Amino acid sequence: MTMDERTLASVEQLRIPTNDELAPLDWKDWYHFILMEPKSGVRVLVNLTLSGRLTGGELQLSFIATIPKEFLTAELHQENNLATFGTAYPQRWVAGTVSREPLRLQGQNVSLEIDGRNSQVAVRDEESGLAIAFTASAEATPLLVTEESPFGSGFIGWGLVPGLQVAGELSVGEAKFPIRQDWFCYHDRNFGRFRWGEDIGWEWFVAFATCADGRTLTLVLDRRTNRDHSEWGLSYIFVYLGNQLRKIFLGSTLAINWEWSANGVLPIRLPGVMASVFAHRSVPMPESLRVEAADERDSLSVAVNFDSAMELVVADNRACQYSFIEEVSGNVEVKLLLDGEMLHGWGLIYAEYVV
């Protein structure tokens, strides 16, 4: 049995005060979904964030889709093998934006509902031509990892559900992509009080790989850091076989090595106003990643080549300061020695590197 309903409820519970017009402005509470279709290589991020407080806060959307060029219609044709599209924008947090039981976030052309194991997400952005609507049912073992871990001037907590049964449709321009049960869907939650642009960062990924015998491996990495990633707290990788948590590699058992482009590049940036502000900002971007982990019984090797990148610029709501989230995805090879058995799988990965 993989589902612990009590833990799942703790993961999904909204932490931010919703009716207090004097609540601190540095509150943040977000719902994060990653969808990947292993056969085609399609990858999607949908993130909804409540920030600030009622009448003085925002409901913020980030929606990114990466599509192999052979699936695009003629008007969206690109020379690169992959095309990345996205939209990101805020709406005012007003009365009616949030309901707690069951959870519901509702904005213009944006909605999220979570009731027990079941979720519904719908986003439509006419300007970018992007839309998605899907239902999801939690299947993998949920984890509430931290609740009040120190982070910047405040704290952060998070939990995850790294496997949901999903169905729906993605639209990119005139191209339609049915979302079926062979898609992988990951969901996590972050919440806390801190300010973007502080001395904070993180390294995170979710990887989904399939072995030759059809068994699946899901890996989730998390490492919280300072802004230049010269210091970090406890690092860990959760290892799932199917929907069951089977292993956690921690701390000194892990070696995490990002490899970067030799020269600075101008990535696609969101939201649009930030793309204008930072149009001059040329930066190296992650090109590959190697992770090795081993303890007295088991070992893990992860080899990643990134082939898609976008930068999200997130602004503090009280001062002119920013954090930058490098959103990257690509292909992954996983070798896992677990309880004396070697598992070898290939698949897709979605990662974030925050500075």
pTM of the entire predicted model: 0.97
DSSP secondary structure of 90-142: EEE--TTSEETTTEEEEETTEEEEEETTEEEEEEEETTTTEEEEEEEEE-SPP
Closest C-alpha among 280, 313, 281, 310 to residue 86: 310
Q: DSSP 3-state assignment of 24? A: coil
* Residue in 209, 179, 66 with CA at minimum distance from that of residue 119: 179
The phi, psi pair for 234, rounded to 5°, reads -65, 130
Give the chain's residues under pLDDT 50.
Answer: 1
**Nearest CA-CA partner of 246 in 350, 162, 146:** 162
Q: Enumerate residues 6+ apart whose C-beta is below 8 A from 281.
A: 266
Q: What is the 3-state composition of the chain as percent helix, strand, coil, each rounded to the nearest 5?
A: 5, 60, 30
CA 248 to centroid of chain Cα atoms: 20
Domains and CATH numbers, the chain: 1-7+22-194 (2.40.370.10), 195-355 (2.40.370.10)
Distances (CA, A) of 103 to 43, 90, 111: 26, 20, 11
Asked whether the beta carbons of 201 and 354 are under 8 A apart, the reply is yes
Q: In terms of Cα–Cα distance, which of 349, 329, 323, 326 is closest to 156?
A: 323
- Residue 242 in tokens: 């199917």
d(CA 3, CA 142): 7
* CA 206-147-61 angle, 5° bins: 55
What is the pLDDT, as a whole number, of residue 102? 94
Tell me the C-alpha to C-alpha distance, in Å, between residue 58 and each of 45, 106, 312: 19, 12, 17
**Bond preceding residue 284 cis, omega within 30 of 0:** no
R_g of the chain, CA atoms, integer Å? 19
Q: Which pairs with CB-CB distance under 8 Å and at least 24 residues apart come from 240-243?
A: 240/140, 240/141, 240/162, 240/163, 241/215, 241/216, 241/217, 241/338, 241/343, 242/163, 242/215, 242/216, 243/2, 243/139, 243/140, 243/141, 243/163
> Tell me, what's the pLDDT at 2?
64
The secondary structure of residue 214, as a DSSP letter, is: S
Q: Cα(159)–Cα(15) distance, rounded to whole angstroms?
A: 12
Residue 73 is predicted with a pLDDT of: 86
